[in-house]
Chain A
Amino acid sequence: MCHTFPALTSDRSSRICSLLYKHGSSMASNSSGSDSSDRQRIAQQRLSVIAGHLQRPVEGNSGILAAECKAQGDKLDVSSERRTVPRRRQEIMKWNGWGYSDSKFLYNKKGQAEFTGKRYRLSGMIIPGLREWMESTFGANLQHKTPAAPILNSSAVQPPTLNEAFLKELKSTGIPFSHDAEDRVFRSHGHCLHEIFALREGKIGRVPDLVVWPNCHNDVVKIVELACKHNVCLMPYGGGTSVSSALECPPEETRSIVSLDTSQMNRILWIDEKNLTAHVEAGIVGQDLERLLNESGYCTGHEPDSMEFSSLGGWVATRASGMKKNIYGNIEDLVVHIKMVTPQGVIEKSCQGPRMSTGPDVHHFIMGSEGTLGVVTEVTMKIRPMPEYQKYGSVVFPNFEMGVACLREVARQRCAPASIRLMDNEQFKFGHALKPQVSSIFTSFLDGLKKFYITKFKGFDPNRLCVATLLFEGDREKVLQHEKQVYDIAAKFGGLAAGEDNGQRGYMLTFVIAYLRDLGMDYYVIGESFETSVPWDRVLDICRNVKARIVRECKDKGVQFPPLSTCRVTQTYDAGACVYFYFAFNYRGLSDPVHVYEQVEHAAREEILANGGSLSHHHGVGKLRKEWMRETISSVGMGMLKSVKDYVDPNNIFGNRNLL
């Protein structure tokens, strides 16, 4: 029986939403003092314990019928009304851009940039500096527009290649499916530049032939069995936020391709407060998982930048990393137990021991398998009580070198806050351009004063300075103590505290920056971000060289305007850091801008590897970075992965051809 965790009636906004969304305007840090909410929280925790006790075990009962689990789910899962992702994604999301249909950047009639909708803190606001920044950075011009195709033309979509025998048996299981063109197109891509660019031009390549929406683990077992029986190609689909061409249908695939959309497997099955774990269906998206756990007073603390849309199963399949990994760890640290359905059957461990010495950890065959071995259906994850107090912060450094030295020292002393990110000068300017209109003269006066203090009094060069954003979490005392420690280190590297506002805005921008690309694409600007991890001694070199390589390659490839080539250090580790590069350029005058873009990104990746950076820190390999796998993990390593694939999926049912 698939019991779900009973939904609670509280209408408190979740804490994560406070960061993301406008209506959650009270910050977590502010709400900690309230008596009534405390009482409410304790009550909820108690309820959830009771609920947990009432629940019957789910695992190990292979006799459960899929139809049964679905029916039960529909009846009991009250909270599913509040789930973010509907079966028909097109109801709330863009078909050819990032995120929600109601949220986007645009230039209004006055030529001012604004962000539409009501969901985000930035929604409904005017961003006065954006236009000038876009014009001066890219040479973009509001007169030169490149509008996207307004609606999806279904006739451009190839008719589906259906495997009738498979379809017939699938129908008998009662699992919902569709071969509607829109449904299929939505599942044919991630968010790589070339994918979105093609959609905007109304160009549609190979798309899945069928979409199925399993409701629970047993549905998946059924689907995989049928796929094996009828030799149908399965491609798992979670949140669709891939940036590695992982969701691209291999053009050489002749079988019917079935997209297995996990979005309806989105329940928290139980919470174990003794062991601080939660057992969750893998299709749940990050924001739902956090919101639901928050309702019980817990969190996973796993917050990748894509968490609004990316799914738990996707995190596991790509070895995701969250912004606050310094406290909570990356996905591999958070996962306790995984259930995955493969063509050979279900793989899972027999217990939930916190660490085992039982040969190589089979979880590590699953984590990072990128949908090539099976479908992750359920995951037991560590949870933590929600932090009592959160505080943002920021530090300005005279230059990037000092900033990196400071982060290195913070990592050496192992006192990194929940999050610490260092932006280079170009990003600092970009962040500045995204400041919403200030309402009071006083605020703008204060801003002016700050700027004066930093550039004139302290002698920072506005074209060299850079800024680190910080997020502290924990109990109040410790946060304040921790904050002091970090600011003291920063001071040794010439860093000046630059306020909570700057920090908070930095993190808020993480979620809206993806929307900004769509605005750029309206005006001849294309770009993307990519990431790597690198030992500390190479951080500065890799940043300098990759940025310079991008500039040089753009010049060589005939790009008419200097590109934006910028980076930030987003994670610190004992032995290195994660570095993110942002790269965008104005493509006016180029006949094949996407090809140029891809050549430059390719060169940038070569540069990263030449400078001792990794192929990927958390985006994964997909098909985009496959060509470098052998040199990355050696031929023997490739053979090891290949032999696992050959055993688990000899007929390549999970045929997305990622990774290998």
Chain B
Amino acid sequence: TPVCYWFSLHQPALKDEEEFTDILEERRRTTDLGYALRTFNPQPYKGAPTLSTSDLNKAVLESQYLCYIIKEIAMETGSSVEKVKEDASRILKEMSHNLQLGFIRLMGYTLNKVFKRLYRSIYVNMEGLNMLQQAIQESPVILIPNHRSYVDFLIISYILFTYDIPVPVIAAGIHVAIIGGLLRRSGAFYIRRAIGSDKLYWAVLLEYVQTIVRTGYAPLEFYVEGFRSRTLKSLVPKLGMMDMVLEPYFKGEVFDITLVPISISYDRVLEESLLALELLGVPRPKESITGLFKASGVLQEDYGCMHVNFGRPLSARQLCEGKINWSEYNLIPRNLPQRPTAETQDCVNWLAHLIVRTQEEGSLISPWSLMACLLLQTPFTTLTEEGLQWHQLTEKTLWLRKLVLDFGARLNWPGGWANSEVMSSTVALHHSIVHHKEDRIYLVQDEDPARQDPLSPEEGVMRMAVVVLMLVSYRNQALHVFVRPGILATAIHITKNTRKDELFSFFCFLQDVFSNEFIFIPGSAVQDFEEACSLLQKCGAVHISQQEVTVLETGLEVLSFLQKLLQPFLDSYQLMFRYLCEKEDHVFTEEQFLPDVRNLATKLILSGDLRTFEVLSSDTQKNVLSALRRLEAVTKLRMESDGGNISTE
């Protein structure tokens, strides 16, 4: 069963899969130009005819599917087929990539320079690359990295070019003139942000993507999370692209599709401060070259290491076995549009979650993430005023290191270094967030030298929030390791119950409430619960019998850590629920909701009644609204003028 397969992903990784190689090391020894001009002769998908960009576009425009839709639209709108065809052609032009080897070389040259400056090392698991190389020759390959930074946009292409593997075409959501053109030539194609109900656009996109998949034209890369995660926490997957990509397999047009989850982990994210500002409602800068470079602040900064972990290639065929009813595809001509059944949608949803979970499993946790978890559990006054004792932080961090290793996470703890060295170099790397003074650790609080008047209390909260949210995002990088046992710890803490079945039902309730916040594979509640139980048992926190879960004296530290780790989410959700309950007006707009909640939260923070800043984050607020809509507590109404009307029920 697929569940078993999922468990097989948990198998201990082979030794060489764990081994990472610093690919920058060799780059530092050779010239950038020599690198860019190296021979590039990858082995493509077997039997794939080599298709030029214009052939690809022609095949898309002449496809039976698109012709059918064009005719249908012409009928519906009363315009001529030629006219609709022209529109389609225009859409395709706006969308299509223009992958050119010359530009790949240029990109390689540039990235070489940039990466060498920004990063100490870029670690790649070579075994993963080998498996990918193999997979590409056997079936169409979909590369699915997580998305945490603009830097990861071209990193995969850069690595594949370096190792003589066909460079991917990349589904991109951004569209800006200059950089757009460059990226287009590096293999990016563009998808509009809001497609809505534009039938023609959807049709062109679908045919374009599927032609690439069907022909094995090149590996296709897209972000299943849909967006760059501002919180560095995995986002609930978007299903549109996943659906499109898998359909050729569902229809039998290809024998199999290989999905390769890729986990990119950063010691320090280039746009860390921007992320916090965006989450607090400061509009993000335009995505242009200047924006990007401004975002990076100065290229002189040290961003530590980057890890790119190529996951084991997953066979869509194997994963979907028994989940798809093929006969639904047998009774309708292949080239006609077909809405997937609920069964198929469930399968795609499940698969997308599985991919994101696999990305999580594959990502590396840095010492800094552990520290962030701990710092956020320290009273803020300690961090801002008296400072946290260095030895205390060190002790706790080492304790937590043991815990994450017990929980089976991949930890990026530099080998061959003394623990104190690791601690101090980590803190030094994150000097924008903390500083180390006289054996104490303090949060960095920017002083604005231009400012004369003292800050208002509200402004103080916002300024504190910026640095706290940065810390939060690094904590988030480690959250996936703790979330399942954390929810169990929370359930134990709240219910004070020891009966396994009751804990399980509360566990399920919490999963249900927070499933927009954390990645839970649909239908895996039982396994998640079992996993949580066994992890807590393994670290000696609880004793588990047939029916009872008993807290052990030795486990209080772990349980309290886990429960406090998730407390900000509970507090944030509760605050917003209370706000909605107390609200007299049952219809409100999204634009109104966000600042209202922020104001309320700020007041509560100032009065000392709320201890988390995360409620200020627009991400949390959006997740709460999504969760409430999913749970059918609120519903979204469409207004004539704009689209953001929400009503409580």
Question: Whole-angstrom distance between the alpha carbons of A610 and B323 in the complex?
Answer: 12
Contact with B along A515-553 (1 / 0, CB 8 A): 000000000000000000000011001101100110000
Inter-chain contact A544/B329, CB cutoff 8 Å? no
* Residue B240 is within 8 A (CB to CB) of chain A in the complex: no
* Residue B522 is within 8 A (CB to CB) of chain A in the complex: no
A375 to chain B, nearest CB (A): 35
A-B residue pairs in contact (CB < 8 Å), sample of 8: A537-B333, A537-B335, A538-B252, A538-B334, A541-B252, A542-B252, A548-B255, A631-B327
Closest residue to B330 on the A side, CB-wise? A612
* Residue A611 is within 8 A (CB to CB) of chain B in the complex: yes
A556 to chain B, nearest CB (A): 10
* Residue A609 is within 8 A (CB to CB) of chain B in the complex: yes
* Residue B40 is within 8 A (CB to CB) of chain A in the complex: no
Residues from 243 to 278 in B contacting A, C-beta threshold 8 Å: 251-253, 255-256
Contact with A along B306-342 (1 / 0, CB 8 A): 0000000000000000000011011001110000000
Residues from 128 to 182 in B contacting A, C-beta threshold 8 Å: none
State how many residues of chain B have any CB contact under 8 Å with chain A.
Answer: 12
Inter-chain contact A612/B255, CB cutoff 8 Å? no
Known: A544-B255, A609-B327. 16 other contacts (CB 8 A): A537-B333, A537-B334, A537-B335, A538-B252, A541-B253, A542-B252, A545-B252, A548-B256, A609-B326, A610-B252, A611-B326, A612-B252, A612-B326, A612-B329, A612-B330, A631-B327
In the bound complex, residues from chain B placing their C-beta under 8 Å from that of A544 are 255
Contact with A along B326-370 (1 / 0, CB 8 A): 110110011100000000000000000000000000000000000
Closest residue to A540 on the B side, CB-wise? B253
Question: Whole-angstrom distance between the alpha carbons of A542 and B253 in the complex?
Answer: 9
A638 to chain B, nearest CB (A): 16
Question: Whole-angstrom distance between the alpha carbons of A611 and B334 in the complex?
Answer: 11
In the bound complex, residues from chain B placing their C-beta under 8 Å from that of A611 are 252, 326
Which 3 residue pairs of A and B lie closest in terms of their CB atoms, listed nearest first?
A610-B326, A612-B330, A548-B255
Question: Whole-angstrom distance between the alpha carbons of A612 and B255 in the complex?
Answer: 14
Question: Whole-angstrom distance between the alpha carbons of A542 and B329 in the complex?
Answer: 13
In the bound complex, residues from chain B placing their C-beta under 8 Å from that of A548 are 255-256
Question: Whole-angstrom distance between the alpha carbons of A542 and B335 in the complex?
Answer: 16
A544 to chain B, nearest CB (A): 6
Q: Chain A: interface residue count, which band?
A: 10 to 19
Residues from 222 to 255 in B contacting A, C-beta threshold 8 Å: 251-253, 255
B379 to chain A, nearest CB (A): 57
Most buried by A among B251, B330, B334, B335: B330
Question: Whole-angstrom distance between the alpha carbons of A541 and B329 in the complex?
Answer: 13
Closest residue to A632 on the B side, CB-wise? B327
Question: Whole-angstrom distance between the alpha carbons of A541 and B326 in the complex?
Answer: 14
Question: Whole-angstrom distance between the alpha carbons of A541 and B252 in the complex?
Answer: 6
Question: Whole-angstrom distance between the alpha carbons of A631 and B331 in the complex?
Answer: 13
Overall SS of chain B's interface:
loop
Question: Whole-angstrom distance between the alpha carbons of A427 and B287 in the complex?
Answer: 57
In the bound complex, residues from chain A placing their C-beta under 8 Å from that of B255 are 544-545, 548-549
Question: Whole-angstrom distance between the alpha carbons of A611 and B252 in the complex?
Answer: 6
B171 to chain A, nearest CB (A): 25
**B: which residues have CB within 8 A of A?**
251-253, 255-256, 326-327, 329-330, 333-335
In the bound complex, residues from chain A placing their C-beta under 8 Å from that of B252 are 538, 541-542, 545, 610-612
In the bound complex, residues from chain A placing their C-beta under 8 Å from that of B327 are 609, 631
Question: Whole-angstrom distance between the alpha carbons of A481 and B326 in the complex?
Answer: 44
In the bound complex, residues from chain B placing their C-beta under 8 Å from that of A537 are 333-335
Closest residue to A464 on the B side, CB-wise? B47
In the bound complex, residues from chain A placing their C-beta under 8 Å from that of B326 are 609-612
B252 to chain A, nearest CB (A): 4
In the bound complex, residues from chain B placing their C-beta under 8 Å from that of A631 are 327
Question: Whole-angstrom distance between the alpha carbons of A612 and B333 in the complex?
Answer: 10
Question: Whole-angstrom distance between the alpha carbons of A611 and B326 in the complex?
Answer: 7
A93 to chain B, nearest CB (A): 41
A635 to chain B, nearest CB (A): 14
Question: Whole-angstrom distance between the alpha carbons of A541 and B333 in the complex?
Answer: 13
Most buried by B among A548, A612, A631: A612
Question: Whole-angstrom distance between the alpha carbons of A632 and B93 in the complex?
Answer: 45
A581 to chain B, nearest CB (A): 14
Closest residue to A611 on the B side, CB-wise? B252
Question: Whole-angstrom distance between the alpha carbons of A631 and B330 in the complex?
Answer: 12
Residues from 246 to 264 in A contacting B, C-beta threshold 8 Å: none
A299 to chain B, nearest CB (A): 37
Residues from 601 to 627 in A contacting B, C-beta threshold 8 Å: 609-612
Question: Whole-angstrom distance between the alpha carbons of A548 and B138 in the complex?
Answer: 10
Closest residue to A549 on the B side, CB-wise? B255
In the bound complex, residues from chain B placing their C-beta under 8 Å from that of A610 are 252, 326
Closest residue to A631 on the B side, CB-wise? B327
Closest residue to A606 on the B side, CB-wise? B326
A24 to chain B, nearest CB (A): 43
Residues from 115 to 160 in A contacting B, C-beta threshold 8 Å: none
B271 to chain A, nearest CB (A): 44
Most buried by A among B252, B326, B329: B252
A567 to chain B, nearest CB (A): 14
In the bound complex, residues from chain A placing their C-beta under 8 Å from that of B329 are 612
In the bound complex, residues from chain B placing their C-beta under 8 Å from that of A542 are 252
Question: Whole-angstrom distance between the alpha carbons of A615 and B429 in the complex?
Answer: 65
Question: Whole-angstrom distance between the alpha carbons of A545 and B254 in the complex?
Answer: 7
Closest residue to A610 on the B side, CB-wise? B326
In the bound complex, residues from chain A placing their C-beta under 8 Å from that of B251 are 541
B453 to chain A, nearest CB (A): 72
Contact with B along A620-660 (1 / 0, CB 8 A): 00000000000100000000000000000000000000000
Question: Whole-angstrom distance between the alpha carbons of A611 and B324 in the complex?
Answer: 12
B604 to chain A, nearest CB (A): 57
A606 to chain B, nearest CB (A): 9
Most buried by B among A542, A611, A631: A611
In the bound complex, residues from chain A placing their C-beta under 8 Å from that of B330 are 612
In the bound complex, residues from chain A placing their C-beta under 8 Å from that of B256 are 548
Question: Whole-angstrom distance between the alpha carbons of A582 and B327 in the complex?
Answer: 25
Closest residue to B324 on the A side, CB-wise? A610
Residues from 564 to 609 in A contacting B, C-beta threshold 8 Å: 609
A494 to chain B, nearest CB (A): 14
In the bound complex, residues from chain B placing their C-beta under 8 Å from that of A541 are 251-253
Question: Whole-angstrom distance between the alpha carbons of A537 and B336 in the complex?
Answer: 12
Residues from 424 to 451 in A contacting B, C-beta threshold 8 Å: none
B39 to chain A, nearest CB (A): 25
Question: Whole-angstrom distance between the alpha carbons of A292 and B368 in the complex?
Answer: 92
B4 to chain A, nearest CB (A): 15
A651 to chain B, nearest CB (A): 35
Closest residue to B249 on the A side, CB-wise? A545
Question: Whole-angstrom distance between the alpha carbons of A542 and B330 in the complex?
Answer: 12
Question: Whole-angstrom distance between the alpha carbons of A537 and B253 in the complex?
Answer: 10
In the bound complex, residues from chain A placing their C-beta under 8 Å from that of B333 are 537
Contact with B along A82-109 (1 / 0, CB 8 A): 0000000000000000000000000000
Closest residue to B327 on the A side, CB-wise? A631
Question: Whole-angstrom distance between the alpha carbons of A542 and B251 in the complex?
Answer: 11
Closest residue to A614 on the B side, CB-wise? B330
In the bound complex, residues from chain B placing their C-beta under 8 Å from that of A612 are 252, 326, 329-330
Closest residue to B334 on the A side, CB-wise? A537
B562 to chain A, nearest CB (A): 41
A587 to chain B, nearest CB (A): 24
A208 to chain B, nearest CB (A): 38
In the bound complex, residues from chain B placing their C-beta under 8 Å from that of A545 are 252, 255
A400 to chain B, nearest CB (A): 11
Closest residue to B248 on the A side, CB-wise? A541
Question: Whole-angstrom distance between the alpha carbons of A548 and B47 in the complex?
Answer: 13
Question: Whole-angstrom distance between the alpha carbons of A538 and B329 in the complex?
Answer: 11
In the bound complex, residues from chain A placing their C-beta under 8 Å from that of B335 are 537
In the bound complex, residues from chain B placing their C-beta under 8 Å from that of A538 are 252, 334
B381 to chain A, nearest CB (A): 61
B116 to chain A, nearest CB (A): 43
Question: Whole-angstrom distance between the alpha carbons of A637 and B251 in the complex?
Answer: 26
Question: Whole-angstrom distance between the alpha carbons of A243 and B407 in the complex?
Answer: 55
Question: Whole-angstrom distance between the alpha carbons of A549 and B251 in the complex?
Answer: 15
